[in-house]
Amino acid sequence: MFPPSTIRLRHRGAALRGLCALILGSLAACSLTPDVGEPPPDTPALPGTAIEQPRSRWVPVGWEALPGWDADQVGRVWPALMQSCQRPAPAWTQVCREARALREPTESAVRGFLQRELQPYQVQAREGGQTEGLITGYYEPLIDASRVPTATYRVPLHQPPADLAQRQPYWTRAELENVPSARAALRGREIAYVADPLDALVLQIQGSGRLRLTERDGSQKLVRLAFAAHNSQPYKSVGRWLVEQGAFTLEQASWPAIKGWARANPGRVQQMLHVNPRMVFFREEPLPDPSVGPVGAQGVPLTPGRSIAVDRESIPYGTPVWIDTTEPVLPPATGTRPLQRLVVAQDTGSAIVGAVRADYFWGWTEGAGDYAGRMKQPLRMWTLWPRQPS
């Protein structure tokens, strides 16, 4: 799904990872909906030195401060932590060396290792000490596609045009579909075709995804479509445009609401898409092991349910993070369920800005998009950091 780290960072800055950004277009807008109310009293800080980051302040606390710490199966984070130890920050070199030496990472062994080697810190905003923020979700779409256009599969996904570097900014989305010379620049650059223009939009917003691809000879294979470039045009939210058009309210805005509007207004779908002038171009990558996740900004594969995107100026890559939030509610269900678990900061995004801010990676299995598209929950966070010498 994602290219190496340097390119990935360019893309996350371009594509506004997280469906909240797709719907509303900015972190400020995404932050409006959750009503977190009065924050619960925080566990008193332990004596010791706080850690200052450019956008956050970490206050040392005891393990009892982590809501639900004893209930999570923390051993399940071990694969994600080992991925981050492939590219450890200097502070993590010794901890990662000892982690790799752990022969049997059982639940009890992992829990004991974490509590012995790491110190928990509550994440606060540098200004005002706010401890509550926002968590949204993202995922790796799995979409049916065809190598050749058919009556069903008619929406092309393109490689970068050959003259992309010579024309900056490049043609807009509308121009690439309507201006003859712009259309000519894309001719022969088609990778595959999908059935729904909204599928193409999701791939562009999410950064890329998996294609269940039907080849010219009728055979099928699974490939990853990775970000390659974009047209240097600004990103504009189609969801925000629909809110302004009166299609639904800001509180009702969600990816399912956008798809519902498109089904009810097929004649206006192109008008909606042209609101966003940005076009993303892709490259095809083999997917020999479907169990391996996309590569995040840290440069390691993401783990469903155990990887998050963060603001790098609040939390460095590779940091284990305890999150205290709730799962999004999928109709017809009602009520909320707590989501309290240990994850690892392995990704970033231009919409993921602030001290207590995260984007939760739901993976690629059925239902991942539904959860990601509705996730917009209050959040508290604690980091786990190598113990400082006394």
What is the percent of the chain where pLDDT is above 70?
A: 87
Residue 5: what pLDDT?
31
Q: What is the mean pLDDT of residues 16-34?
A: 45
Distance CA(14)–CA(25), nearest Å, equals 12
Residue 331: what pLDDT?
84
Asked if residues 45 and 61 have their Cβ atoms less than 8 Å apart, the reply is yes
Where residue 254 falls among pLDDT bands split at 50, 70, 90?
confident
DSSP H helical ranges for the chain: 5-15, 19-24, 27-30, 78-84, 93-100, 107-117, 173-178, 180-186, 197-206, 238-244, 255-264, 269-274, 368-374
pLDDT in tens, 146-205: 999 999 999 999 999 999 999 999 999 999 999 999 999 999 999 999 999 999 999 998
The two tokens of residue 378 are 């209050």
Residue 255: what pLDDT?
82
What does pTM read for this prediction?
0.83
Domains assigned to the chain: 5-24+141-286 (2.40.240.50), 51-137+293-386 (2.40.40.10)
Where residue 334 falls among pLDDT bands split at 50, 70, 90?
confident
